[in-house]
Amino acid sequence: MQQQTTLKKSDFYYDLPEELIAQTPAEPRDSSRLLIYHRDTHEIEHKIFRDVIDYLKAGDVLVVNRTRVLPARLYAHTLHGGAVEVLLLKRLALDTWEVLVRPGKKCRPGTRLVVNEELSLDVISVTDSGERIVKFAYEGAFEDVLSRVGTMPLPPYIHEKLKDPERYQTVYSRENGSAAAPTAGLHFTPELLERIRAKGVEIAEVLLHVGLGTFRPVKEENVLDHKMHSEYYEVGEEAADIVNRAKREGRRVICVGTTSVRTLETVAGIDGYLHACKGNTEIFIYPPYKFKCVDALITNFHLPESTLLMLVSALCSREEMLEVYRVAVEERYRFFSFGDAMLIV
């Protein structure tokens, strides 16, 4: 259970020079930098991401999120010719989605938007938070149409054009459904994963389709008033078995990314054990929080005052994490989606 406490959004602010926001991914993937934070000693080490293997040991379980980013940004127009940008957030039925539209004033219920001759959509309703529920009209499979007409929805702080859209996908991504990448996984290469497996580390796959809530700023000064966006998750029998065996035998469960953390902590019982299930989660993790299942985390550097920074702070304390971030800024680490990584052990 999350303890009730008073936390202010401004408690999670830190100064970040704009030039430290990574605009392009590191090449190769595993050449990004890696900050290691040891919670027991408060020691900080500076390494390269491929060195992560030296901090993993036989018997560890690495939990990854197999979601793929949809080409979820659509450029449409109204029947009167007004331009509208549509961002897919969450699939509600085969042809019905929750979407973000800009500008919203052109998209009242009953409005028809046309992307091209292959794809159009009707606005059905408006949610309390201003998103639209829309119904698409198309021939064939929606994913096929989307692959032809949609574009990759890079985060708003990335202004460079991405040369290779696959660089905003993890190498183990398999299941379409996200509006944003689980970016901690972007650092892994197939070769590095192979070496990690060869060391005796087990890899468990879960699924959480990342919504745009990832980028939604916390507006409320009292953190407890913030409502998380609902996101779809799945934990299969195989993943549950791998994690539960590790828990029984006292082995570490290490999450790759905050999405894997939120999936495991949603599903885990008080005893830390998982069961196979699927559903929607709105879990919001902030300090102080007692983790039920997760022992360590590989993650990127997150935006000031974001729910992701609050989550990683819960692994140690707010003060400790802000000190780690101060060091990362001083050492000129690259931040956010295409930035460097951190291992919290």
- CATH number assigned to the domain comprising residue 119: 2.40.10.240
Cβ partners under 8 Å of residue 161, min gap 6: none
Per-residue pLDDT at 215 exceeds 70 = no
Give yes or no: residues 116 and 145 share one domain: yes
Given a cut of 60, whether residue 1 has pLDDT beyond it is: no
Supply the pLDDT for residue 105. 84
| Location of structure tokens 């680490």 | 333
* 193 and 306 belong to one structural domain: yes
pLDDT tens string 75-130:
999 998 899 999 998 889 999 999 999 898 889 999 999 999 999 999 999 998 88
**pLDDT value of residue 3:** 53
Cβ-based neighbours of 101, under 8 Å, separated by 6 or more: 84, 85, 86, 87, 107, 113, 123, 132
pLDDT in tens, 252-281: 999 999 999 999 999 999 999 999 999 999
Percent of the chain with pLDDT over 90: 83
Same domain, 61 and 170: yes
Mark whether 59 and 91 lie in a shared domain: no
Question: Is residue 156 a part of any domain in this protein?
Answer: no
Give the residue from 101, 124, 149 where a domain finishes.
149
- Same domain, residue pair 105 and 236: no
As for how many domains the chain has, the answer is 2
In a domain, 132, yes or no: yes
pLDDT in tens, 136-193: 999 999 989 999 999 988 888 888 888 898 999 999 999 999 989 999 999 999 999 9
Note whether residue 4 is domain-resident: no
The CATH number of whichever domain residue 322 belongs to comes to 3.40.1780.10
Q: Which of 94, 117, 149 is where one domain is finished? A: 149
* 319, pLDDT greater than 80: yes
Work out the pLDDT band at 334, boundaries 50, 70, 90: very high
Residue 157 lies in a domain: no
Examine the domain organization and report whether 138 and 197 are in the same domain: no
Specify if 155 maps to a domain: no
- Domain C-terminal end among 81, 114, 149: 149
Summarize pLDDT for 52-82 with one digit per residue, the tens. 999 999 999 999 999 999 999 999 999 988 9
Q: Which helix (H) or strand (E) holds 193?
A: helix 190-198
The verdict on 89 and 221 lying in the same domain is no
Question: pTM here?
Answer: 0.91
C-alpha atoms less than 13 angstroms from C-alpha of 218 in its C-beta half-sphere? 26
Are both 209 and 183 inside the same structural domain?
A: yes
The residue range of the domain holding 319 is 9-69+163-344
Do residues 178 and 43 both lie within one domain? yes
Asked if residue 84 belongs to a domain, the reply is yes
Of 157, 205, 159, 208, nearest to 181 by C-alpha is 208
54 and 20 assigned to the same domain: yes
Distance separating alpha carbons of residues 343 and 239, to the nearest angstrom: 22
Which pLDDT score, from 0 to 100, does residue 101 have? 93
Same domain (yes/no): 130, 57:
no
Q: Is residue 106 part of a domain?
A: yes
Res. 322 pLDDT band, cuts 50 70 90:
very high
**Residue 2 resides in a domain:** no
pLDDT attached to residue 159? 84
User: 299 and 283: one domain?
Assistant: yes
What is residue 46's DSSP assignment?
A: E
d(CA 59, CA 9): 38
Q: Which string of DSSP letters, residue by residue, matches 311-330?
A: HHHHTS-HHHHHHHHHHHHH
Across the chain, what does the average pLDDT equal? 94
Could you give the CA distance from residue 21 to residue 168 in angstroms, rounded to a whole number? 16
